[in-house]
Structure 1
Amino acid sequence: MIEFIEKEFREQIKTQKLWLITLVFIFFAVLSPILTKNLQAIMKTTLGMELPPPLPVDSYLQFFKSVYQMGLLVFILFFMGCVAVEKEKGTAAMILSKPVSRLEFILSKYISISAAAIFALSVGGILCYGYTETLFEEAGSFWLFLKAMACYTVFFLGSSAVIVLFSTLAKNQLYAGAASAVVLIVMSFTSQVDMGKYFFTSFLGLATTYLQGGSGEIVIPIISSAVIIGVCLVAAWRIFEYQEI
């Protein structure tokens, strides 16, 4: 399976997906501190509104907000065909003719796209923190920022599992992308109610809470997120087992 995972990474580099998703996150990492730093002046000039002086944490909140609202969409668009396209083109059949099981196929897809998300998030996060420190001449708590990064890492691990599931289930990548987006949006809305703590989307709210110096329940979200990821991957594997390739 390791060889197949390496193949997936080479494919991401060849198709530029890894670099493009990273560039998107870098864009947010650079833009967020600039917008945050200048928002007070912009609002005063254009609307005559007086806003309190911006803080480094505002820059981080803007970065993570952009990652969720736009970065996730780009991530889905890039990887919604991770299994569906392989089935459409017939390359899945060629791969499975080699000593690669269907379970290894699914796990390799999940590991490779999860790694791409974590890499892009890490690069963007480090750049955002460093650039914020440069613009604001202070950076706030690095520990709180790391906790927020960890929360978004779990979120993307869960999102990757959902994408793999629907890419396996759907007949083409457009259906897979649409279904993944709808499910993730619906799950994110549940974070406003008590049952939301059982979904990995609850880590979006936890990230904000941590950045603002608060605390929150972490054990239940971690356990439930691991269960959801496992269920998605097992479901994708079993569905893939019964599909004619």
Structure 2
Amino acid sequence: MSSALVFARKEFFEIFRTWRIVVLPAIVLLFALTGPVLAKYTPELLTAVAGSQLSGLELPTPTVFDAYGQWIKNLSQIGIFAIIIIYAGLVSSERRSGTAILVLTKPLSRATFVIVKAVVNAFYLTALVAIGTLITWGVSALMFGEAPGAALWSSAAVWLVLALVYLSLMTLFSVLIRSSAGASGAGLGAFLVLSVAGLWMPAADYSPAGLPSRAATLAAGVATEPLTWPMVISLLACAAVVGLAAMIFRRQEL
């Protein structure tokens, strides 16, 4: 078995020994279970709380697409924040603990070290999103009596690409910044930049900045925005950013 596969196996089992195995699944499970329920009963809750203040105001009847939209909205906000915080120390934490030195004394290159960590966690995120989307699909069917799959799964796939973009950025930031807090701050700064850039049409059409809005419109079943270029460029950006992180890590002192 090659050193890269051995390290990938070690990194996979490392997930089960850290808070990543608790926090991310808990967040995904919470959103998957509660999103459709909240979408279904929000009008009734508002009526019960507001009472006479809503007199004469007819609230729209919730649909399964409201549940899908709630799922994507939660992921695009709290889900992204969780990824930023959890992966802020993806590389730097192993440098501080000395684990990186021990691993790199074996026939494992520094570039492989960074790339394997990013790839293993990309598969982990993909599995979590798939499971969460499947649960959302099932709960939505129970709540609304129907659950067309195309809108939900296509929007989840777009959001997953966005999540991989942030995973790539956090891999780079954890190489550049030895402090997890500093890397988290850089990640939140990137979130702010992409959120603002998404308001500018050229950036939304040709960069990851457009993925949140496209995921939302797909979830609503009314997608009309171009999707190919934001997806392709985002995936290429992921590879480029991880490659840059690997190149920088090769030249750094441990």
**Unmatched 5+ residue regions in structure 1?**
none
Matched to 2:192, the amino acid is I
TM (norm. structure 2) is: 0.91
* Counterpart residue number, 1:150: 157
Cα-to-partner distance string for 1:205-234 (whole Å, 9 max, x where unaligned): 111222232232122212321332122112
Residue 75 (1) aligns with residue 83 (2): yes
Q: Measure the CA separation in 1 of the matches of 2:209 and 2:125.
A: 16
Q: Is the 8 A contact 1:88 1:172 kept in 2?
A: no
Residue 11 (1) aligns with residue 14 (2): yes
Q: Measure the CA separation in 1 of the matches of 2:234 and 2:82.
A: 22
* Counterpart residue number, 1:128: 136
Q: Measure the CA separation in 1 of the matches of 2:239 and 2:119.
A: 13
**Unmatched 5+ residue regions in structure 2?**
none
SS in 1 for 2:208: coil
Q: Is the 8 A contact 1:79 1:113 kept in 2?
A: no
From 166, 172, 176, the counterpart of 1:165: 172
**Alpha-carbon offset, residue 185 of structure 1:** 2.7
* Counterpart residue number, 1:29: 32
Q: Is the 8 A contact 1:81 1:176 kept in 2?
A: yes
From 209, 224, 247, the counterpart of 1:238: 247
Q: Is the 8 A contact 2:83 2:167 kept in 1?
A: no
Matched to 1:90, the amino acid is G
From 211, 226, 229, the counterpart of 2:238: 229
Residue 105 (1) aligns with residue 113 (2): yes
Q: Is the 8 A contact 1:187 1:196 kept in 2?
A: no
Q: Is the 8 A contact 1:206 1:216 kept in 2?
A: yes
Matched to 1:120, the amino acid is L
Q: Is the 8 A contact 2:73 2:216 kept in 1?
A: no
SS in 1 for 2:16: helix
The number of equivalent residue pairs is 244
* Counterpart residue number, 2:211: 203
Q: Is the 8 A contact 1:25 1:120 kept in 2?
A: yes
- Supply the RMSD in Å over aligned alpha carbons: 1.5
* Counterpart residue number, 1:216: 225
Residue 53 (1) aligns with residue 56 (2): no
Q: Is the 8 A contact 1:43 1:51 kept in 2?
A: no
Q: Measure the CA separation in 1 of the matches of 2:80 and 2:167.
A: 10
Q: Is the 8 A contact 2:155 2:216 kept in 1?
A: yes
Q: Is the 8 A contact 1:164 1:236 kept in 2?
A: yes
* Counterpart residue number, 1:189: 196
Q: Measure the CA separation in 2 of the matches of 1:187 and 1:174.
A: 20
Matched to 1:125, the amino acid is T
**Alpha-carbon offset, residue 104 of structure 1:** 0.6
From 90, 94, 99, the counterpart of 1:86: 94
Matched to 1:156, the amino acid is A
Q: Measure the CA separation in 1 of the matches of 2:177 and 2:82.
A: 19
Matched to 1:15, the amino acid is T
Matched to 1:190, the amino acid is A
Of the structure 1 ranges 24-33 and 44-53, higher mean CA displacement relative to structure 2 is found in 44-53
Cα-to-partner distance string for 1:118-138 (whole Å, 9 max, x where unaligned): 122111111011001101111
Q: Measure the CA separation in 1 of the matches of 2:205 and 2:137.
A: 28
Residue 174 (1) aligns with residue 181 (2): yes
